[in-house]
Amino acid sequence: MAEKLKIVLFVSVFSVSVIISSSFAQQACNKYSFSDNREYSSCIDLPVLNSFIHYNYESSSGKLEVAFRKTGMDSSGWIAWAINPAATGMVDSQALVAYQQADGKMKAYTSPVTEYKTSLEEGKLSFEVSDLEAKLEKNEMTIFATMAVGKGNTTVNQVWQEGPVSDGVPQMHSTSGGNVQSMGKLNLLSGTASSSGGGDSKTKQRNIHGILNAVSWGIMMPCGAFFARYLKVFKSSLGPLWFSLHVGCQLSAYIIGVAGWGTGLKLGAESPGIEYSTHRKIGIALFCLGTLQAFALLLRPKPDHKYRIFWNIYHHTCGYTALILSVVNVFKGFEILKPGDAWKQAYIGIIIALGAIAVMLEAFTWFIVIKRKEGRAY
């Protein structure tokens, strides 16, 4: 059942992301006219971030006149378009950056991106750039420039981005959705662009990471605790079934959770400079607590052993701490992935349902315990 749920959730998240991404290209670039009558022979509707690239390319001289346009912008954001001579990602790209300053004037500058940083520092590019300027009109921000990309360099790796501005400084862009898919190859002769697929791959990995952890730590772990807490009272009639259900559910959750934890480590290793400190620390703590609980099964003394009370304290403390941290970290994951309100609300609904069931079962359990103390059979 859990496996089917993971597949359904993954397909749903992926389908929603495709639909959202495809809805960004709302205005075809070939029908667009610049207010200052600039003309470009080629234009491409870029697949994400509601962005467009217009350009003229002269193959004999290697001169590229470009206009990168982003709609849905205001004075609180920055945009960037870059060519990466070495790879398909952001690192080593040669970027054109623009944003509106506090005085209302547009600032356009060049920025060589040598590593992941929280801001784009100004610097000289590996090729010449002239006529660099930017405009913000009717919620559209555009960068204009002329670049010497070299003769015969007909296919380039392009990267485009958007992000917030704080205190007059461009800040780190989002690390989910279109912001990790905004890269690919641009054929300057044919006027076509293709996605590198790297962003899609990383988005899928993030979705898998989120689903594995939400299902294991966020749902299965609480259910396993329920089996121990509320079926144990019926052990006279159920026998060891409650224990088997508890151990089976918790071990399955731990195995799936470790797989989710592993995908998180892999994502972190593949994203230098990008770190979600709180989410990461809670994830490490959960792995440690889950491992301690796994060892608890091997170290469990008999019920009448003199050290059993200390084992109970250790087992219950680790277990309930893990439950609380699990729910907290799932919500931290929602903040990072930003999958949409529906997913967060669905999980909140599950937690509320589990809480309501726990309250009813808790009351019923105490009712049975009290009646047994009064000598009535239950």
Q: Is the pLDDT of residue 20 over 80?
A: no
Res 13: pLDDT = 37
Res 170: pLDDT = 87
Res 110: pLDDT = 92
* Residue found under tokens 């294991």: 216
Res 10: pLDDT = 38
Is 116 or 182 the better-scoring residue by pLDDT?
182
Q: Is the pLDDT of residue 166 over 70?
A: yes
Which pLDDT band, with edges at 50, 70 and 90, does 144 fall under?
very high
CB–CB of 63/50 below 8 Å? no
Is 81 or 231 the better-scoring residue by pLDDT?
81
Q: Is the pLDDT of residue 3 over 70?
A: no
Q: What is the mean pLDDT of residues 20-35?
A: 56
Kindly tell me the burial class for residue 134, based on how many C-beta atoms sit within 10 Å of its own C-beta (0-12, 13-18, 19 or more). Answer: buried
Q: Is the pLDDT of residue 54 over 60?
A: yes
Res 19: pLDDT = 36
222-259 pLDDT tens trace: 888 888 888 777 765 666 787 888 888 888 999 998 99
Q: What is the mean pLDDT of residues 3-16?
A: 39
Which pLDDT band, with edges at 50, 70 and 90, does 334 fall under?
confident
Q: Span 200-373: which CATH code?
A: 1.20.120.1770
Percent of the chain with pLDDT over 90: 15
Average pLDDT, whole number, for the chain?
80
Least reliable range by pLDDT among 12-21, 81-90, 132-141, 171-180: 12-21
273-309 pLDDT tens trace: 566 788 889 989 999 998 988 888 888 888 888 888 9
Res 375: pLDDT = 67
Q: What is the mean pLDDT of residues 14-29?
A: 40
Percent of the chain with pLDDT over 70: 83
Q: Is the pLDDT of residue 18 over 50?
A: no
Q: Where are the chain's structural domains?
A: 27-196, 200-373
* Architecture, CATH, for domain 27-196: Sandwich (2.60)
179-216 pLDDT tens trace: 877 888 888 887 777 665 444 556 677 778 888 988 89
Amino acid at 15: S
Q: Is the pLDDT of residue 22 over 80?
A: no
Res 378: pLDDT = 53
